[in-house]
Structure 1
Amino acid sequence: MTLTSAATPSWITDITMAELEADPRPFYERLRREAPVAFVPQLGLHIVSTRELCLEISKDSENWPAVISPAGGRTFGSGAILNSNGPEHRELRGMVEPHLQPSAVDTYIDDLVRPFARSRLADFEDNGAADIVAEYCEPVSVRALGDLLGLGDVSTDKLREWFHKLSDSFTNADMTADGEFANPDGFIPGDEAKAEIIAHVDPKIDHWIEHPDHTAISHWLHDGMPEGQTRSREVIYPNLYVFLLGAMQEPGHAMGTTLAGLFSRPDQLERVIDDPTLITRAVAEGMRWVAPIWSAAVKVATRKVTVGGVTLPQGSLVMLSYGSANNDENAYDAPTSYDLDRAVIPNLTFGGGVHACAGTYFASAVVRIALEELFESIPNIERDTAHEIDFWGWGFRGPKQLHVQWEV
């Protein structure tokens, strides 16, 4: 029996990418129960679905260095922080982290987020209804990161468009039996976005090379470089694409998800509105409940290894499903339910090990401030039950729409 057939229960081959995008939870629940390490032909790699195994692999960067999924590699190109290791990874972390350290974030985050959040709320708070994802969550999320990066001259709508197109490309992961992309045209949106990004940012890079400023991209160009030298565009752009996708969508999805979770527990929503100090805990539970980055981190085995009872040869690719790990029944009671009062157990929303998300504190602060402003302005917010909550995605997951209403 071959490794692939041994690690692939027959029912896995019947799962379609469309089903995964619509609702990955039943699929991953069965994986955790029957095949916590399983080869998924549709993706061309193994999925690791339990919290224990995700933790084990994420912490072992020596034997499990980071790589990138085929679709991710096609989207970002070479040189992205997601698939760097060793000295290269430390260099790239040193490039992006200074603006994201808690001590730095605390100096600018209020001025970065609150004025825009208040402006967005003023635009619709007298309407009595909104799709809160489109009107508030995504705009606040993309504006915060865009301004931090130095893209204040890019419209909020264009930033949203870029991250949606990059997401379409990154999650275009369906593979054929011979290892080719099943839908090569699915990368067209991402290619269009990247062409626009380069056209807009290239002149800015020319300016920042001669005139450094406080923005993150300017810092990426200069910090740690020898006198008179700057980092090349071949380093800047792949990592800019990573930020414009993952770092832009994560706070917006986390906001919408936290609201959806609180709407499922009206008593807990009321407590959070009455006591804003609970928002941080509410957000942490929201991101555990539905992880914004559900399945994205990929590792490669440096040697033959047995994981979860499955022996994998050297070179095997495994995708760590952090969203599944956060819903693991062996770690959490009733994990698919939102519960502000559940015992606090560390989750894998932001990954683990040396490749844990560098923007953890920044993203959490954006969500916290945005919800503080929302609940202050619209304390009687409630879900509009005439509309379903439209969650979507297996790689990145969050509500595409979340209709709310309130009395004016």
Structure 2
Amino acid sequence: MTTTNETTRPDHAWIADITMTELERNPYAAYERLRREAPLAYVPVLGSYVASTAEICREIATSPDFEAVITPAGGRTFGHPAIIGVNGDIHRDLRGMVEPQLQPVEVDRWVDDLVRPIARRYVEAFETDGHADIVSQFAEPVSVRSLGDLLGLADISSDTLRRWFGQLSRSFTNASMTEDGEFANPDGFIEGDVARAEIQAAVDPLIDHWIAEPAETAISHWLHDGMPPGRTRDRQYIYPTIYVYLLGAMQEPGHGIASTLVGLFSEPDQLEAVVDDPTLIPRAISEGMRWTSPIWSATARISTAPVCIAGVDLPAGTPVILSYGSANHDTGVYEAPTRFDMRRPPLPHLAFGAGNHACAGIYYANHVMRIALEELFEAIPNLERDSSTDVEFWGWGFRGPTSLPVTWEV
């Protein structure tokens, strides 16, 4: 079967000029053109085919002809077996390991008691100041502290968790490839290696303790649940999934909170409606996650058989990056998708993925974001964006505001 390489067509030669800097700073223009001209195309800087429309992303994510594969940079960062890049029995075991604590009935039992005091504590630290950076002082700390405590890392500071998250994120998105299929910036993985070494040094003693004395922490459950009496999962088997959590599961709620706020600030009447009626917060979050998807383009699939998708013939073994952030701006699905509008008709989005590798923490993440925004608006209902600076977003694999200065009258 002959593979159609989209960059070989004269009218698609522009795809070879897409740069990593462009994707990290503002991927929307390139992906808008991809959706219009080449919705499934080989993008040389990524060394992979890219799916950019909602229809193709969903088709590949749910197709029996594809299975999960981790991106090269993701595999280099997390190692094997990371839950986002495995299949078959290993995937079933890892999903069975993490999902019991994330079932709605279980999350409802503890999420408010876990997250609300954390959110309240961070708000109280700045609510009398009249100004704050919501990303660094609230959204990211609430996200990392909530997940850190859930995992059992209560003694590790929020600053350390945020630093690990940043190091792993930059390593995971160090995705630029050469024409020879090598990493263009191999030194870009060093800080991820440093983070992993620090994580193991901090978590190994906890694992030693939980092996002997199981506790009500997520990692302790991962060690013991579903195992024969007297046996636990090997720590090296679960570490790649711990890294996944310390990046993706910490990043998604934090940047979802911040992006939702940026969107609300762009529509003052909608912000006022949410502040006046907190029951609207989940609608605002859903739109915020569509508008700027935190996990923008970080997952991939690989074909298990020759397949034709959107007129492109893909041999078996062809990886395809699923650009969910692009899919959520598909004009074939959403009217005026670049505008934040929580009043648009409720349509399903792909911020949490699709298929059997959809995010296991959807319910948990939505509640973290809801509780955080409830506490923020309750304490500071007159919140305003500091208009003296622009809001800058960053990231192609993971995307969110780098900072969000706000002010209010005390």
TM-score range, shorter chain: over 0.9
Per-residue CA distance 1:102-135 (angstroms, 9 max, x = gap) = 1111111111111111111111001101111000
CA contact (8 A) 1:110 1:369 kept: yes
User: Are 1:7 and 1:39, in contact at CA under 8 Å, matched by a contact in 2?
Assistant: no
Aligned residue number for residue 224 of structure 1: 226
The answer as to 2:61 corresponding to 1:58 is yes
Q: Secondary structure at the match of 1:52?
A: helix
Unaligned runs of 5+ in 2: none
Map of 2:120 onto structure 1: 118
Residue equivalent to 1:305: 307
Give the match for residue 141 of structure 1: 143
For the 8 Å contact 2:3–2:312, the answer to whether it is kept is: no
Give the equivalent residue in structure 2 for 1:338.
340
Compute the displacement of 1:6 (Å): 4.0
Residue 46 of structure 1 aligns to a residue in which SS?
Answer: strand
Mapped partners of 1:338, 1:7: distance in 2? 35
Counterpart in 2 of 1:33?
36
Q: Residue 375 of structure 1 aligns with which residue?
A: 377
| 1:374-405, Cα deviation, whole Å (9 max, x unpaired) | 00000000110001111111110000101100
User: Any conservation in 1 of the 2:3–2:314 contact (CA below 8 Å)?
Assistant: no
Q: Secondary structure at the match of 2:49?
A: strand
Q: 1:272 to 1:7 in 2, by over 3 A?
A: farther
The 5-angstrom pairing of residues 88-103 of structure 1 reads 88-103=90-105
- Contact 2:3/2:313, CA 8 A, preserved across alignment: no
The counterpart of 1:86, out of the listed 85, 88, 92, is 88
Q: Which of 369, 392, 396 is the matching residue for 1:394?
A: 396
CA distance in 2, matches of 1:7, 1:220: 49
Query: What amino acid is aligned across from residue 3 of structure 1 in structure 2?
Result: T
TM-score when scaled to structure 1? 0.98
What's 2:259 paired with?
257
Runs of 4+ in 1 over 3 A off after TM superposition: 5-8
TM-score (norm 2): 0.98
CA distance 1:16–1:126, change in 2 (3 Å)? same
Provide the rounded CA distance (Å) in 2 between the counterparts of 1:59 and 1:387.
42
1:223-262 deviations in whole A, cap 9, x for unaligned?
Answer: 0001110000121100000000000010000000000000
2-structure distance, mates of 1:396, 1:295: 7
Match of 1:384 in 2: 386
Per the TM alignment, residue 297 of structure 1 is displaced from its structure 2 partner at its CA by 1.3
Give the secondary structure class of the aligned counterpart of 1:268.
Answer: helix
Give the aligned partner of residue 24 of structure 2. 21
3-12 or 264-273, which deviates more: 3-12
Worse-matched range after superposition: 168-177 or 302-311: 302-311
Deviations 1:128-171 (A, max 9, x none): 01111000000000000000000000000000000000000000
Deviation sequence 1:13-48 (CA, Å, 0-9, x none) = 111101110000001000000000000111111000
Is residue 354 from structure 1 mapped to residue 356 from structure 2 by the alignment? yes
- Which residue identity does 1:129 align to in structure 2? H
Contact 1:114 1:373 in 2 (8 A): yes
Partner of 1:212: 214
Q: Counterparts of 1:328 and 1:3 in 2: how far apart (Å)?
A: 23
Query: How far apart, CA to CA, are the structure 2 residues paired with 1:311 and 1:319?
Result: 16
Is this contact kept in 1: 2:3–2:315, CA < 8 A? Answer: no
Cα RMSD, aligned residues only = 1.0
Amino acid aligned to 1:404: V
Residues 236 and 58 of structure 1: CA distance in aligned 2, closer, same or farther (over 3 Å): same
State percent identity of aligned pairs.
Answer: 63
Contact persistence 2:65–2:307 (CA under 8 A): no
Deviation at 1:3, TM superposition (A): 3.2
CA deviation after TM superposition for structure 1 residue 7, in Å? 6.9
> Partner amino acid for 2:73?
A
Q: Deviations over 1:288-337 (max 9, x none)?
A: 00100000111111111111111111111100110011000000000010
1:294 corresponds in structure 2 to 296
Structure 1 distance, partners of 2:199, 2:321, is 28
Partners in 2 of 1:21 and 1:59 — Cα distance?
Answer: 27
1:321 maps to a residue whose letter is: S
Please report how far the alpha carbon of residue 2 of structure 1 lies from its aligned counterpart in structure 2 after TM superposition. Answer: 6.6
Which amino acid in structure 2 is aligned with residue 295 of structure 1? S
The aligned counterpart of 1:322 is 324
Contact 1:132 1:404 (8 Å CA) reproduced: yes
- Give the one of 268, 274, 277 matched to 2:276: 274
> Is the CA contact (8 Å cut-off) linking 1:65 and 1:300 kept in structure 2?
yes
Do structure 1's residue 45 and structure 2's residue 63 form an aligned pair? Answer: no
Q: Any idea what the Cα deviations from partners look like across 1:185-238, whole Å, max 9, x if unmatched?
A: 000110010000000000110000000010000000000001110000121100
Question: Which whole-Å CA distance do the structure 1 matches of 2:223 and 2:315 have between them?
Answer: 39
Partners of 1:144 and 1:6 in 2: how far apart?
48
Letter in 2 for 1:89: H
- Cα distance change on mapping 1:331 and 1:314 into 2, 3 Å: same
Aligned 8 A contact 2:57 2:324 in 1: yes
How many residue pairs align between the two structures? 407
Contact 1:7 1:310 in 2 (8 A): no
